[in-house]
């Protein structure tokens, strides 16, 4: 019987693949058989080396997703280097923290441009290729704040709420064209983006008390969800936002 989770002979773009969630997902896809284009401002040399250790092809595609300028080149360079494109993981993102009374336009625009605008236009560029070949999978990285409000992160909450909405809209438009669009909503994952929360003794304690699993998540905890959504096992899954949160939303 064919393994529906097997990603052999597929090529995935993973943005923000140099560290954290992006690295964890890239390596999970590679272990499942996919070749990886690691996209980001910082060269993902460690991720590439580990993916190649699994016997996969892996390439660095340098791009700054604070603007949409590189999105077409990212797709073209991936196809040029790796021969095709089957999977896009839209993970690249930033966060800015401040009270909403003091939040600046600069911090608003920076987060919206990277986390929402570039995500949409890279999905568009990838989907044009995927629709032409009749199949593909797009996995957006949403957030618990796609469901909740959070505090002191207004532009991040707005962007991640937008990611959830776009995931559903794009699924509505592209499902019949052979392209699956879904999202993962990570819970509290120990990464650079959450370092400030981990370092805040009071906030860290409050977070842990709320998580039924009793621990912060690790980037590798998202790998199985990403492999599932990128694989044939999810061929009839469209527009879904899969929370990987240690039970946070259940409490």
Known catalytic membership, residue 156: yes
- How far apart CA 113 and CA 68 sit, in angstroms, is 8
C-beta of residue 7 within 8 angstroms of C-beta of residue 29: yes
CA distance 231 to 87: 9
Dist CA 152 CA 209 (whole Å)? 20
Catalytic residue among 120, 156, 216, 228: 156
| DSSP codes, 144-178 | GGGTS--SS-HHHHHHHHHHHHHHHHHHHHHGGGT
Distance of alpha carbon 141 from its chain centroid, rounded? 4
Q: 3-state class of 52 per DSSP?
A: helix
Least Cα distance to 170 among 128, 201, 210 occurs for 128
Rounded-to-integer distance, Cα 88 and Cα 71, Å: 12
- Can you read off the two tokens belonging to residue 19? 């560290």
Sign of the CA dihedral with 125 first, then 128, 133, and 134 last: positive
Residues with active-site annotation: 156
């Amino acid at each position: 019987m064919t393994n529906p989770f097997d990603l052999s002979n597929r090529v995935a773009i993973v943005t923000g693949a140099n560290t954290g969630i992006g690295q964890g997902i890239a390596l999970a896809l590679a272990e499942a058989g996919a070749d990886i284009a690691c996209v980001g401002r910082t060269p993902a040399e460690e991720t590439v080396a580990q993916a190649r250790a699994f016997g996969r092809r892996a390439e660095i595609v340098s791009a700054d997703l604070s603007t949409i300028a590189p999105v077409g080149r990212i797709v073209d360079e991936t196809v040029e280097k790796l021969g095709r494109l089957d999977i896009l993981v839209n993970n690249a993102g930033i966060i800015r923290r401040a009270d909403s009374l003091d939040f600046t336009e600069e911090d608003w625009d920076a987060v919206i441009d990277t986390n929402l605008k570039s995500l949409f236009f890279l999905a568009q560029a990838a989907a044009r290729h995927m629709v032409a070949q009749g199949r593909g999978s797009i996995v957006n990285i949403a957030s618990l704040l796609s469901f909740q409000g959070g505090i002191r992160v207004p532009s991040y909450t707005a962007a991640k709420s937008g990611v959830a909405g776009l995931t559903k809209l794009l699924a509505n438009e592209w499902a019949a064209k052979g392209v699956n669009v879904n999202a993962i909503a990570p819970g509290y994952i120990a990464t650079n983006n959450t370092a400030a929360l981990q370092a805040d003794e009071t906030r860290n304690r409050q977070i842990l008390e709320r998580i039924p699993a009793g621990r912060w998540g690790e980037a590798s905890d998202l790998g199985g969800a990403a492999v599932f959504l990128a694989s044939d096992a999810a061929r009839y899954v469209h527009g879904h936002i899969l929370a990987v949160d240690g039970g946070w939303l259940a409490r």
